[in-house]
Structures are given as structure tokens and as C-alpha cells.
Chain A
């Protein structure tokens, strides 16, 4: 299990894993852009946080990295989901879903039990 203390960092890791699952191997810039786009530009990824988070995921063995060529022929470091990462993603997604549904029940008005 990763660090649970920082909620933001926890969700960032989940977003990174999900992005890599959807799009396949991708560089840091691509991951950041994808997260921003998916959120409808509601989120802005702080790069100072992104790279340490990528490093952490790599140290934990959820992702791999290797240098490759980007579309416009730039040298870039590509991150790839590992098998452990895939498992972790399923697990975390499930937990996240559970957490949000519980919260939703609290926050939806008019359903209090007498």
C-alpha cells in the first residue's frame, strides 16, 4: 500500500495509473496533460509533485520507465504500467468508488433514517 496520508498524492497516483492503463506507455508531460484534459481543465497538475509521485510509483514497482522517442522525435522517458500496477489500480479504484459512494450517501439530502 502506498502513502495514505496525502489524499491529493493518493488520488494523483490513482489518476496516473488509470491514465497509463487507458493510453499505454506515456511520458510525464503526456500524463500531466491527459489528467488535466480528463478533468475538463478543472485540475492543474503541479509538476513539482508529479515527478516525485512517478518516482514513488516506480520505486513501489507499480510502473516501469524507459527512454524512448516522442511523436515529434523528442527523447522522453516513457512510463508503463506493470502487472502489480494493474492489480493496485483495480484495488484502489474499488476502494475509491466505495469511499465516494459512502460520502455521496452522506451528502445527498432527504435520505436520513428516522
Chain B
């Protein structure tokens, strides 16, 4: 208590130093006078009295100093002093300050920007109540450890047999056709919609901001159903949320009343705008091998994830025993929702954060180097300060203050850079990174930047401070100019720092080199189809039963010739799934259907296509024929297989004429009439898959939503308007979404491109900083050794010898750095192996290139210092000695 009171008073003393100072002088003065009075009374002469009193009092200045220390808080006062001094020093060397601040700001800014992304995507809790209790439940395929969608009956058993969950809901989601205000005569547009089970919103702890959830009646099969829409969608189409309530809306060809609007920000799953009850419209899948759902759940309070997982594993095992035909090898995986959402990007983001951290380390090493050089230049100043009584700690504190001030200025500038950099990162990143749009500079990110700045200041401020600790006062004062050779501690420290810089940049450059090589390999993979000048138009025709589905295929049959008639169109086709979108796949059987279907049958991707699609997409036919207008619903069923399937199922035989069966929509036998080339439509890094193409007219139900492919003789964008008109002429109910084959192919490699670009930039930065370090040290060394060089020249060394001398020293430093760096890279690049394609983490060619690049760069960086050494005039250099 007493202590606290004293501290407050002392703290107060900091801010009004003058008055008490005066008061104290008065007190001392009166003390002195009383002493003199006493002395006089004891019979001294006035002069004697005064002298004796003064002597007894001792050093007034010392007393005042003690008094002042007690009154205020010395640490804070010297801090203020140090701050003032630090600012003065920084202003005195504007060149140094600007360079240092810029280098550091770049490092801090890049780190902060990267952290803002990592924070938004990986660290920030989901914006739902108690988000840690929200989990996903997925089918766990034991053989591959792969997690997948869930079958309807499995989901019902999970839900009814478990008690670890407060709520559980299945859902599915895809783009569908909606008309927000059908009465206004508007045409259909695409909206992301989700069909959800009863407890879906409860799992997230959310309820509509306006209106209500689905009623029990609306959730029942065969009911009229209802729709809940997102806040943004409501505002966009109805002006305000409450304006949407009760309005009818057309969704996938059905008219539903809007009963609720979710709060702003709730868009799960993905970017959903419309939610409808799943049971109202879907027959409810009854097969345990049709995995059509995703499942989310909310853990009961107090139930740990492991407990829930244990319970679900037990249930999964029970189902395996009970339904071996469909459930053998299948269990349940419970994952926290956030972890599940970001599992794909976690490695990439953490790698990038680490890489950018290394860049900052190099920047710090550079700065430490610059400050060391400065500290050596300031040896005399520091020695004088020590001589007049400044303690070592005091001097170190002052140097550290300078570093901290430097770091904080750079940190502030870095924040500005991060604001911008964070936006650039969001723009560069693949579009499907979840929660990326939430990346922003908030309090947590600011705190991170502050922390990074302070840690950085410690890192680069420590070296010069250490150097000062070791400085010997006497020698420092005696020497007029610092003339240490390369044996001094500072010089060794500087060279060690450069070695570290080179080593760190070797690691980054090696990583970047591997990614670049891997990316080039990805680009070189033949996709098997043409990507330029092909417009892709996603469309879907509302349909609910076979009859309406057949109407939908007739819509396409009439539309395609009209598209071919548009000027500039060379060819047009249609395919069930545009490259890169979700696929339908399953087992297939050759020649005859077995009595019992087993899940071990070989797998193939199922595609429905229109005639001429192969030609439009540039997929070559290897044999047989393409589909034609004669392959109608009533004609004999036919199929085209790809080469991979031909190789898998017909080794050494001609597949044409054989029958093939698959479970797309009917078990009808299909005669194989053609063989198409392989395509890598899901990205160049994917394995080739077997594929069965079927004529869309023979499979109307999976063919109500097709992607139109339009090959053009001009840039595809030029004909978008014409194509849109043709579609809307044919039906106002059909929404159209436009993209190009090129854009789709590019999306497939968006993630590797992002990684490669980012790491490339970081490695480039690292290399530049390391080179600046080499340049700085070599310039310094040449300066230090100029008299030695002069002597050598006077003794007959040629200019070539001198240059060789400098380059040799550079090579020693670079060589050390490269060796250390290669050792580090060999370990670190192992982390990359899972994201490399077509190149091993230990690729010798890459490493050779990295070594060559670093050696060349280091030599280039020491070129200017070497030239300076060459020009040393022996006469001048020797005169200084």
C-alpha cells in the first residue's frame, strides 16, 4: 500500500519537475544558513563558518541528484531522455534511417498481411455461438482414409442412435435457378441454394433475423415447402429484409413462399442465398450406397470431440456388421467444422507465413549489420559517454531504445503496407479459400504487428549492444580512427550475419525453385481438351420428374442448333459437368450385370453429353463414332468410353460393340460405340480416371442441367450477349452463368499458382536483402583493408590480384552460407513434398541452379566493392598508416 502511494507520487513527479526543484534548493539553502548560524554561534569567523558548513553538506549537486532520483522514477526519466536522443540520432542520419525503416517496414508489412490472412482463415473462431461445438460428420472410407458424403439411411441411423449431439442435420447444396420476383417478369438467375434437414439452423445456433424457421408442416414430405433467404439476397431483391416476408419465389421451377431472412453474414454452406427444407421435395434416398448428403452436428455441452468420435465409431461398426453389402469398410469421421473447412489450405498458409517470417529474419540480420557498422563508427562517442560516468547498462539501454524506436516507426509504416498487402493477398488467393474475404486488419493483427516489431528490434538491436558491452574503454579512447582488421568481434559478427542471410535465402530460393519447377510441370501436362476460345455456359432447366426432364432435354435439342447459328460460333455442344465441377461417379460392369452389385466394382466418372461435344471441346475420338441426333431416348442405348477405361476393362481387345452397365439413372445395357481421348478435367495433378460418356437424351434425369460449350472464332466474351438472348428466347426459367474453358482450367491450378507466386516473391525479396548484406559487408571490408591493399599494390600486386582478393573473401562467405542453407533446405523442403508435382523435394537440378544463382549473385554484389579496392591509390592509402 505505502509503496503504491509512493509510486504514484513519484510518477506524478515526472510531469512537474520544476517546482519541487526550486523548493529543494530553498530547503538546502535554509539548511546551509542554519548550519552557518550555528557555526557563528560557536565562535567561527563568518568565512570559516560558511566554508565548514559547505564542506559538511558535501556535494550539493550529488544531493540534488539523489533527491531527484527519489522524487521521480529514474528509469522513466532516462527513457524519455533516450527517446529524445534516439529520435535525434535517427534524424541525423536520414539516409540510414530511411533505408532501415523501409527494409524493416517491408518485412513487418509482409508478415502482418500474411498473418491477417492466416488469422481470418485458420485462427479466428467461426462467427456462430459456441463454434467449437459445431462438427461435421462424414463417411470415413477405411481403405483410403478418405472422407466423403453420407447416405440418407446412414445419416438417419447416426442421428437416432447417438446422444452426443444436441442437434444434427443433413444438407446438400448447389447452384440452382431462381426468380426472386416472378410477377415482375424477370428471367431466372443462378443462386447458391441448400436443401437442409429440420435441425440445420439449430446446429449453428442461428435463427432468422426476420420471420421464422420452417414449420413442422413445411418440413414434411410432399408439403408446399417454404424458403428462407440470406440477408444480402433479401436486400438485393426486396430492398429490405422484412419486405421479402410472405413473397412467392421461384426456386428450381417450384414456387415457394419466403418465411424468413437469416441475419447478415450467415451464408453456410459456402455462399448460400436460399435454404429450402430437403424432405419437402426429395423422395429421401433409401440406398445406403448412394452418398448424397453432407452432415453437420452440434455437440452436447460438455461432450468432447473424442467422446463423440468414439460413439460414432461404435455406431459405424454396428452398421458395418448389419449391412455388410453397403457398409463394409465404411465408418464415421467427426471433425470440427473449422478444421474441416480449412484442411486444404492450412499447410499452404502456414508455409507462406513461415517463409515471410524468414524474409523478416533476413531483414533483421541486414539491419543488425548496418547498426553494427554504425556502432563501430560510434565507438568513440560511446567511450566518451562511458568515461563521463554512463554505466554499460545505461549505454546498452540507449542503443536498444534507438532500435525499438526504429522498429516502431517501421512497424507503423508496415501496418500501412499490410492494409494494402492484405487486399493483394486476398485478390491473388484461389477463390475457394474459405473465410478469406474476412481478412482484415483488426486488433489482433495490430497486436501481432506490434509484437513482431518489438521482437525484430530485439533481434537486430542485440548485435550492436553486445558489441558495446565488449568495447574496451581505454583502447577505444586512444584510437583516433577504428582500424581493426577482420579479427574484431564486430567484424566476425557482421560476417556471421551475412552467412546467416545467405543460408536463409538459400532455403527460400530452393523452396521457390521447387515450386516453380512443379508449376511448370503442371502447365506442361496435356489436359486432353482445348482451352482457348471455348465459352462455357452453365444452364439448368427446372424439372422434377421424368416427363419434365424429357422436356428439358428437348429444350437443349432445340437450343443447340440456334447457338451454332450465332455469328462467330464454330461449334456447340453440351456436357453434364463442366470441367472442374462436382462429379458423378460409381461402379461399372462389362457385358452383363452381376446378380448382386458389389462395391468393389471398378469405378468410372459418368458424363452425359450432346452430339458434337467432343469436337467442340477438342477431345479426340480414338475409335468408333461420336453420338448423333439419332441416339434418342427410344433408340438403343449407347456409350462412349475413354482410353483409360478401355485400357482398364479391355486390355488387348477392341471395346467397340461390347455392352457396359452403370448406375447413373437406369440399369439399361449400353453398347459401346466409340473411344474418346483421356482428359484431365479436374486439374493436371489428378490421376487419370476412367470415364463413360452417355448421350444426354437417353438419360434425361441427370441431363436437366448442362454446361453448354461454344467454340468461337473470336474472343468468347464477344458472343456472351447473343448466347444469353438465345437462351432467354427459349425459356425465361433457365438461368445462365458464363465462363470460359481457359478460366476453368486456370482455376484448377489456382492454388499452386498462388503458392508459387508468393514464395517466388518472398524468395526474391530474401535474395535482394541478402545481396544488400553482402554488398554492405564487402564495402566495409574493403574500407577497412584499404591500407593493406595499398601496401600490396605498392609491393607489386596487380589490380587483378586485388579484385581476386575481394572476390575470394566473398566466395568464402557465400560458400559457407550456401552449405549451411543447403543443409536447412534439405530438411525444410521435405515439408513441400505433398504439394510438389512432377519434381522431387531433393531435385538435384533445382539445387544446382540455386547454388549457381547464389554464387553469381554474391559475386555481383561484391563487384562494386571490388572495383573500389582496385582503385585504391597506394600512395594515399599508405600515407594514412
Enumerate chain A interface residues (CB-CB to B < 8 A).
Answer: 1-2, 27-30, 33, 46-49, 51-52, 55-56, 59-62, 70, 72, 74-77, 84
Contacts and interface: CB of A to CB of B under 8 A. Distances in A.
Interface of B: 2-3, 5-6, 9-10, 23-24, 26-28, 30-31, 33-35, 37-38, 56-59, 62-63, 66-67, 69-71
Contact of B58 (A47, A52, A59): A47
A60 B6 contact: yes
Contact of B30 (A29, A47, A52): A29
B67 A52 contact: yes
Given A27-B34, A55-B71, A48 B63 contact: yes
Interface centre among A29, A60, A61 (most CB of B within 10 A): A29
Contacts of B23: 77
A62 B2 CA distance: 9
Most A Cβ at <10 Å: residue of B5, B24, B27? B27
Contacts of B67: 51-52, 55
A56 B6 contact: yes
A70 B32 CA distance: 13
A48 B58 contact: yes
Contacts of A75: 26, 30
Nearest to B69: A52
Contact of A27 (B3, B24, B31, B57): B31
Contacts of A59: 5-6, 9-10, 70
A56 B63 CA distance: 14
B70 A55 contact: yes
Contact of B27 (A1, A28, A46, A48): A28
A46 B67 CA distance: 13
A68 B418 CA distance: 63
Given A30-B34, A76-B31, 18 more contacts: A1-B2, A27-B31, A27-B34, A28-B27, A33-B38, A47-B28, A47-B56, A47-B63, A48-B63, A51-B63, A51-B67, A52-B66, A52-B69, A59-B10, A60-B3, A72-B34, A76-B27, A76-B34
B70 A56 contact: yes
Contacts of A29: 30-31, 34-35
B66 A2 contact: no
11 contacts: A29-B31, A47-B56, A47-B58, A51-B24, A51-B63, A56-B70, A59-B10, A70-B34, A74-B30, A76-B27, A84-B2
Contacts of A72: 34, 37
Contact of A61 (B5, B34, B63): B5
Question: Which of B2, B10, B33, B71 has the most C-beta atoms of chain A within 10 angstroms of its own C-beta?
Answer: B2
Contacts of B26: 75, 77
Contacts of A30: 34
Contacts of B31: 27-29, 47, 76
A77 B27 contact: yes
Contacts of B24: 51
Contacts of B9: 59
A49 B5 CA distance: 21
A29 B28 CA distance: 9
Nearest to A50: B63
- Sorted nearest first, the 8 A-B pairs with minimum C-beta distance are A48-B63, A59-B6, A52-B70, A60-B2, A29-B34, A29-B31, A76-B30, A59-B9
B70 A46 contact: no
Contact of A60 (B5, B59, B62): B5
Contact of B66 (A49, A74, A77): A49
A30 B38 CA distance: 11
Contacts of A74: 30, 33-34, 37
Contacts of A60: 2-3, 5-6
A70 B37 CA distance: 12
A70 B35 CA distance: 12
A27 B35 CA distance: 12
Given A48-B62, A55-B71, A56-B70, A2 B27 contact: no
B58 A46 contact: yes
A108 B597 CA distance: 105
